[in-house]
Amino acid sequence: MRSEILTATSRDTQSTPQPIVQIEHLQKHYQMGDTIVRALEDISFTMLTGEFWSIMGPSGSGKSTLLNLLGCLDQPTDGLYRLGGIDVSEMDDDELSEIRNERIGFIFQSFNLIQQLTVLENIEVPLFYMGWDPTDSRDRAQELAEKVGLGDRAGHRPRELSGGQQQRVAIARAMANDPLILLADEPTGNLDSKTEAEILAMLQELNEQGKTVIVVTHELKVAEIANWNLSMRDGLIDAVRGPEDSDRSRWQG
């Protein structure tokens, strides 16, 4: 178990960026009675390891839908999605669960910690489903709690923590499986601006350590931190802005 995590860590520190999220003509339609809601029309792009992406756009433009697909919580209606080189667009429920468990870290707007569990136990949840040994997982959770500055709150319940502290626990939990991509849907939507800055700094730090981060947001502050920005409108890519030297052929609207 431990050795797998060590190799997983080494994949973040590879010097040349590799394609990690490859999407081609992705579509997501919802059948609502007689009408079809085209939440995603036709989306194609590639993200590389170590990038920090922000996804912006007006309400209802399909940001959350896209993020749920990237997080393997849902299946596309059509199109291709390759995560870390594996095609996940045809997988069944159990296989998707395994992919989420091993390759994806989620951070939610409303923290979503489990109320009856302590800080450490919350961080351990993904490790439990990975089948980790209890002592190893306890050690790893303690280590992560300390990294997010909550080593002294290890035994506390979520409702004894502030919103910012809860979100830090959620970040620790998202990092427990050392994911390929870290997904966050409006992670600072429920926080004041001071705490927001703290959380953003933490995401930035993780990105600097090599983690690929994708954040859906309405905040320009987040977009400023991200080195790539994807704007959406009506289920389509409106614009992609990257660093000056970037290769624009990696996306099409």
Partner 1 sequence: MSASRYWRTVRLGLKSLALHKLRSGLTVLGIVFGVCSVIAMLSIGEGASWEAQEQIKALGSTNIIVDSVQPPENQSASAERSRVVDYGLRYKDAERIQETIPEVSVVIPVRQIEKDLWHLQRRSRGVVKGTLPYYFGLGRFELQEGRYLTDTDVETHANVGVLGSAAARDLFPFENPIGKLIRVGTDPFRVVGVLREKAAASAKDTGSEIIEETGYDFYIPLPTAQDWFGELIVKVSSGSRDMERVELHRLQIQIEGDHENLEAAVDRTASALRTMLERHHPDVDYRITVPLELLRSARATKRIFNIVLGSIAGISLLVGGIGIMNIMLASVTERTREIGVRRALGAKRKHVISQFLIETVVLSVGGGLLGIVLGIIIPQLVTAFSDMKTIITPFSLILSFGISGLVGVLFGIYPAWRAANMDPIEALRHE
Q: Does 76 bind partner 1 (CB under 8 A)?
A: no
Q: Which is nearer to ligand ATP, 36 or 201 (CB)?
A: 36
**Beta carbon nearer to Mg ion, 64 or 97:** 64
Contact region with ligand ATP (CB under 6 A), list: 7-15, 56-64, 87-95, 240-248: 56-64
Which of partner 1, Mg ion, ligand ATP, none is residue 204 near (CB under 5 to 8 Å by kind)? none
Task: Say whether residue 35 binds ligand ATP (CB under 6 A).
Answer: no
Residue of 50, 57, 62, 71 interacting with partner 1 (CB under 8 A): 71
Out of 40, 173, 214, 217, name the contact with partner 1 by CB under 8 A.
Answer: 173
Longest dimension (CA), the chain: 55
Residue 167 touching partner 1 (CB under 8 A): no
Q: Does residue 89 belong to the site contacting Mg ion (CB under 5 A)? A: no
Residue whose beta carbon is closest to Mg ion: 64
**Looking at beta carbons only, is 32 or 92 nearer to ligand ATP?**
32
Q: Looking at 57-65, 115-123, 160-168, 244-252, which segment touches ligand ATP (CB under 6 A)? A: 57-65
- Count of residues that bind Mg ion according to CB under 5 A: 1
